Structure 1
Amino acid sequence: MSLARSPADSERGMSRGAFWLMLRRIAVFAGCVDMVYLLAFFALGMPVMALVNLLSASMYAAAYVLLGKRRNLPAVALMWTEVLGHAGACTVLLGWDSGTHYFLLVFLPAVAVSRSPRHAIAAMGFVLAVYLGLDALTQAVPVVYPLAPGPLMALRWLSITVVFVMFAYTARYYTQRVHEAEGRLYDLATTDTLSGLWNRRQFLQMAHAEIDRARRHHTPLVLVLADIDHFKRVNDQHGHDTGDRVIQHVAGLMRHQARTGDLIGRWGGEEFVMLLPMTDGDGALELSERMRASVEQIACQHGGVTVPVTMSLGVCEVLPGQSLDHAFKNADAALYTAKNAGRNQVCVAPLALPARPTAPQAARSTVEAQAHALPAA
């Protein structure tokens, strides 16, 4: 049985984690609000109500600790008990006009995002029943602690303000989580998860847009294909984990050498692709050679093992009116020439530029001869 987690499982885990983090912050906020009410009730000469708020603040502190220990169900039960008991008691003791019944409404955002629609509907129905029951009860029984109009209005406004802030915070918090989730989904759809580079689909989409832009503005554009030399040997000798690390290592070096605006993607397996806007053949050759030298000089380290890596590259200038597919064929042919000439070098497709493979020097003449033998585009 596979224990691997799918992207959907990861998203659900992130969603639950965000929910519990939000609940923990609400526990802190609610506890602070209770302390404000405690001071207000002491100022009004109502010590019993002040002690009720002290008890509520203690319950939120306990819920905060439980959430930190991931004992989520007891924490949620404690918070439900506090809100229902506190809001209900204050509404009965102080009257409906105190506005303390509004605190029952803070359940609604948390309930609405429940993973189970059936549970969410049942919980919202319960809150509604309690709310209506409190309304009916306060109509039937006299106020135990009546307040003067001024303090009563101040208490009601305080309750409204606190609930307003909590609703605003909850809405803002979930909006941020939605934006973050959208960003993660975009990354999953456009980025190669192993190398962190653009995946093939996204690279092609961006490449077509760059080709159209280069045609409109008559600017140079170069396509480069790169391939890690003897990659199968790395997997066979050191294992696929080391092979994955080599791909990440090479991708990081290429990204470090690339300039702002250059497109780099993982084409598949151990092969990479680059599109270099506003770059002529000489500039592309220089950049490709820097990348090749960087890969050769900086060995990959993994699990205490040093893995030397080299890379071959094929460069093709995208000519005006040339399709991306045609450019890929030329770049692939140049890469094939570099591979046949001994690897660890850069070869330029001859119809874009004079064929000028670089390093090592001993293979230069062979590379030039094969590059000039490439078929015409």
Structure 2
Amino acid sequence: MSIIIALCIGLAVGLLLQANKVRQLRQRLSEQQLRDSLTGLYQRPHLFTLSAREVNRAQRSQSKMAVLIADMDHCAEINATHGLQAGDLALKRLAECALKSVRDFDLVGRYSGEEIALVLPDTDYKGAMVVAERLRSKVKQIPITLPNQAEFYISITIGLAALDMETETFEDILVAADSALQTAKKMGVDRIEAFPASIPVIPKV
């Protein structure tokens, strides 16, 4: 009888361990489906879902929130000069630098082709400017090395906006951040602009 009980216990433990492995595998697969295959950042739909929750939370608690949209400069020229692989490596570098520039609970996702969005809960304009400048400086410091050992540098332009009394949805903040980004592009590259334009920008170094 004791042998049968031991076998049953062993079987139950084995089934439990197997079930845990299956559950963990499903979680990993689900997480992979929510992330961009190239950069590892959140895909746009999932980023929007999570960010909408943050907007609702910030509105309920009357807390701060800011959004950055970072666009890689001269992406077409990089692809034309070094090939499409170079563009992919540059985008991966941008993603890596973005993740290293934010806190664990901040959200970073691929917004469009060469653009990423950073959602910063509990962050005002001043704090967002610090993050934006940290990211802008970080991406241009280290060269990207191609398989043939050729090297090149990248720079980014950033648009910034924050939650205010006029904001109703996450899309509202994105529109404002994108407006700031377009203004920055008209003025040059490798720069940061905020919405509204009256917000002071940290000088470049």
Q: Given the two structures, how large is their TM-score scaled by the length of structure 2?
A: 0.90
- Checking the alignment, whether the CA contact within 8 Å between 2:75 and 2:114 is kept in structure 1 is yes
Are 1:331 and 2:180 an aligned pair? no
**In the alignment, which of 29, 35, 44 is matched to residue 200 of structure 1?**
44
Structure 2: give runs of 5+ residues left out of the alignment.
none
Q: Give the superposition deviation at 1:355.
A: 4.8
- Checking the alignment, whether the CA contact within 8 Å between 1:199 and 1:267 is kept in structure 2 is yes
- Checking the alignment, whether the CA contact within 8 Å between 1:215 and 1:321 is kept in structure 2 is no
Counting only pairs closer than 5 Å after superposition, residues 126-141 of structure 1 correspond to structure 2 as: none
Q: Give the superposition deviation at 1:185.
A: 2.4
Aligned to 1:268, what secondary structure does the other structure show?
coil
Post-superposition Cα deviations, 1:85-107, rounded to whole Å, max 9, x if no partner, equal xxxxxxxxxxxxxxxxxxxxxxx
The one-letter code sitting in structure 1 at the alignment partner of 2:174 is F
Count of matched residue pairs: 203
Corresponding position of 1:312: 157
- Checking the alignment, whether the CA contact within 8 Å between 1:347 and 1:358 is kept in structure 2 is no
Aligned to 2:85, what secondary structure does the other structure show?
helix
Structure 1: give runs of 5+ residues left out of the alignment.
1-155, 361-377
The one-letter code sitting in structure 2 at the alignment partner of 1:254 is A
Q: Give the superposition deviation at 1:293.
A: 0.5
CA distance in 2, matches of 1:273, 1:243: 18
Are 1:289 and 2:133 an aligned pair? yes
Counting only pairs closer than 5 Å after superposition, residues 237-276 of structure 1 correspond to structure 2 as: 237-276=81-120
Q: Give the superposition deviation at 1:218.
A: 0.9
Corresponding position of 1:344: 190
Corresponding position of 1:143: none
The one-letter code sitting in structure 2 at the alignment partner of 1:305 is A
Q: Give the superposition deviation at 1:169.
A: 3.9
- Checking the alignment, whether the CA contact within 8 Å between 2:133 and 2:202 is kept in structure 1 is no
Counting only pairs closer than 5 Å after superposition, residues 105-120 of structure 1 correspond to structure 2 as: none
- Checking the alignment, whether the CA contact within 8 Å between 1:346 and 1:358 is kept in structure 2 is no
Q: Give the superposition deviation at 1:183.
A: 1.3
Moved over 6 A (4+): none
Q: Which has the larger radius of gyration?
A: 1
CA distance in 1, matches of 2:85, 2:10: 47
Aligned to 1:297, what secondary structure does the other structure show?
coil
Are 1:217 and 2:28 an aligned pair? no
CA distance in 1, matches of 2:170, 2:9: 54
Q: Given the two structures, how large is their TM-score scaled by the length of structure 1?
A: 0.51
CA distance in 1, matches of 2:113, 2:58: 29
Q: Give the superposition deviation at 1:321.
A: 4.2
Q: Give the superposition deviation at 1:342.
A: 1.5
Q: Give the superposition deviation at 1:348.
A: 0.7
Q: Give the superposition deviation at 1:281.
A: 0.5
Q: Give the superposition deviation at 1:330.
A: 1.4
The one-letter code sitting in structure 2 at the alignment partner of 1:210 is E
CA distance in 1, matches of 2:22, 2:36: 22
Corresponding position of 1:231: 75
Counting only pairs closer than 5 Å after superposition, residues 1-377 of structure 1 correspond to structure 2 as: 157-158=2-3, 160-161=4-5, 163-303=7-147, 304-322=149-167, 323-350=169-196, 354-356=199-201, 358-359=203-204
CA distance in 2, matches of 1:348, 1:213: 23
CA distance in 1, matches of 2:18, 2:165: 48
CA distance in 1, matches of 2:188, 2:175: 20
Post-superposition Cα deviations, 1:182-201, rounded to whole Å, max 9, x if no partner, equal 21222123211211111111
Q: Percent identity?
A: 27
CA distance in 2, matches of 1:240, 1:249: 14
More helix by percentage: 1
For residues 157 and 324 of structure 1, do their structure 2 counterparts lie closer, same or farther at Cα, with a shift above 3 Å needed?
closer
- Checking the alignment, whether the CA contact within 8 Å between 1:221 and 1:275 is kept in structure 2 is yes
Cα RMSD (Å): 1.9
Q: Give the superposition deviation at 1:179.
A: 1.4
| Deviates most, 315-324 or 273-282 | 315-324
CA distance in 2, matches of 1:205, 1:358: 34
Q: Give the superposition deviation at 1:162.
A: 5.0
The one-letter code sitting in structure 1 at the alignment partner of 2:37 is T
